[in-house]
């Protein structure tokens, strides 16, 4: 016997059997009205903090005769104020290498933006405008959200200020490749429509809490959009405000993922069947000083198995800078454990 039975029509409320009693269920009109009210409330709370960001970039363009000319390129994106003293969170690709930044508030006021810090590895950046008594967004907790939860995206696609779209969280814990080559972890997938210009805008819950920074869409698909989790953004923003950058460690090699021969895996009792094949070594780098060679296969870093380049990137944190570490490689037919001291990253897409 079914525990729940609902009788309804499109013209009014239905009845649902709960605990052997019939209760009145809300009609479709009531549900839609509640949905609309949730979106309206969230927009009322957050939209005053959303800004339109216009940027100018001076690019050097090489002509056919070999001469270099300077050309100014203009672009725009979104961002949102997250502190009362004017700090604005946005995407790195919106403001990276900008020669001029201008932020426009929803009330029409325009202010020059100062670059505070930029982190291409997570596609996040912080800029600042100087004006008192700003309305700022409340940052939520991206660890507490659930698939299917209502979310609202606010931004400035194609320069249309404070455009609102809504949808649901489609998936959690996605990974997205940044422009620098590193993977961004804990990315939120949503079907709230995003367009060029939405980048850097907030992804918001029905309570008006920002739980993501809108960052990318798959152009050939419909309803597949991504936002960087706000917990990642909190960490990155705090480092950018404090130091102007996010410190990561660097060992100075180029490599590619490789599948190991099963005989090697069995002989050395390796937990994984893949590793990183070293293709190049930077001069005067930690890898060079440690004695790594082209052709080595990295299988462990500080006793952590290495599946591929992304695993190595995740382990090369700021905590490893200047700290003696162990790197295990397969060279020809032997396994070697080498001492390596990572340095501060030079902001390159290689390890």
pLDDT for the residue 346 = 67
pLDDT for the residue 351 = 39
Can you give the residue ranges of every domain in the chain?
6-46, 138-232, 249-344
Q: Regarding beta strands 12-18 and 150-155, do their DSSP bridges make them parallel or antiparallel, or are they unpaired? A: unpaired
Order of all β-strands in the sheet with 6-9: 6-9, 12-18, 21-25
Q: What angle do CA 99, 211, 97 make, to 5 degrees?
A: 10
pLDDT at 159 over 90: no
184: confidence class by pLDDT, cuts 50, 70, 90:
confident
pLDDT at 126 over 80: yes
pLDDT for the residue 9 = 43
pLDDT at 71 over 60: yes
pLDDT for the residue 162 = 84
Using CA atoms, how far residue 298 sits from 46, 192, 268, in Å, is 47, 41, 13
Among the listed residues 47, 92, 178, 199, the single catalytic one is 199
pLDDT for the residue 19 = 66
Which has more confidence, 341 or 223? 341
Determine contact, residues 140/195, Cβ cutoff 8 Å.
no
- Asked about 70 being catalytic, the answer comes back as no
Question: In this structure, what token pair is assigned to residue 131?
Answer: 């004006």
Average pLDDT, the chain: 86
pLDDT at 64 over 60: yes
pLDDT for the residue 344 = 87
Which residue carries 């800078």 as its tokens? Answer: 321
- Asked about 199 being catalytic, the answer comes back as yes
- Asked about 185 being catalytic, the answer comes back as no
Which residue carries 């009792």 as its tokens? Answer: 269
pLDDT digits (tens, 9 = 90+) for 211-257: 999 998 877 777 889 999 999 999 999 999 998 988 888 898 888 89
The CATH number, out of the four listed (3.40.710.10, 3.10.20.600, 3.40.50.720, 2.30.42.10), of the domain defined by the range 249-344: 2.30.42.10
pLDDT for the residue 6 = 46
Name the pTM for this structure.
0.78
Which CATH architecture best describes the domain 138-232? Answer: Beta Barrel (2.40)
Among the listed residues 47, 49, 93, 285, the single catalytic one is 93
Among the listed residues 123, 191, 296, 311, the single catalytic one is 123
R_g of the chain, CA atoms, integer Å: 25
pLDDT digits (tens, 9 = 90+) for 259-273: 999 999 999 999 999
7: confidence class by pLDDT, cuts 50, 70, 90:
very low
């Amino acid at each position: 016997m079914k525990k729940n039975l609902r009788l309804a029509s499109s013209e009014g409320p239905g009845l649902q059997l709960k605990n052997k009693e019939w209760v009145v269920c809300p009609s479709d009109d009531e549900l839609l009205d509640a949905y609309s009210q949730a979106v309206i409330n969230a927009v009322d709370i957050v939209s005053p903090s959303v800004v339109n960001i216009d940027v100018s970039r001076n690019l050097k363009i090489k002509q056919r005769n070999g001469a270099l000319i300077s050309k100014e390129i203009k672009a725009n994106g979104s961002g949102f104020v997250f502190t009362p003293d004017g700090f604005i969170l946005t995407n790195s690709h919106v403001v990276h290498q900008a020669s001029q930044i201008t932020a426009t508030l929803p009330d029409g006021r325009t202010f020059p933006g100062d670059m505070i810090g930029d982190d291409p590895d997570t596609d996040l950046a912080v800029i600042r405008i100087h004006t008192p008594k700003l309305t700022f967004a409340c940052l939520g907790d991206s660890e507490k959200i659930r698939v299917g939860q209502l979310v609202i995206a606010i931004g400035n696609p194609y320069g249309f200020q404070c455009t609102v779209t809504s949808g649901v969280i489609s998936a959690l814990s996605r990974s997205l490749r940044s422009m620098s080559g590193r993977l961004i972890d804990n990315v939120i997938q949503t079907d709230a429509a995003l367009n060029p210009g939405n980048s850097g805008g907030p992804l918001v819950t029905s309570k008006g809490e920002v739980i993501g920074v809108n960052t990318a869409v798959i152009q050939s698909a419909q309803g597949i959009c991504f936002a960087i989790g706000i917990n990642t953004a909190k960490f990155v923003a705090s480092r950018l405000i404090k130091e102007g950058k996010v410190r990561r460690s660097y060992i100075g090699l180029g490599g590619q993922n490789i599948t190991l021969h099963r005989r090697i895996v069995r002989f050395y009792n390796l937990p994984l069947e893949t590793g990183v094949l070293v293709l190049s070594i930077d001069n005067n780098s930690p890898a060079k000083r440690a004695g790594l060679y082209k052709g080595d296969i990295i299988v462990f870093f500080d006793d952590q198995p290495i599946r591929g380049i992304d695993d190595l990137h995740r382990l090369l944190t700021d905590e490893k800078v200047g700290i003696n570490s162990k790197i295990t490689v397969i060279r020809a037919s032997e396994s070697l454990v080498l001492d390596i001291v990572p340095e501060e990253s030079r902001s390159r897409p290689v390890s």
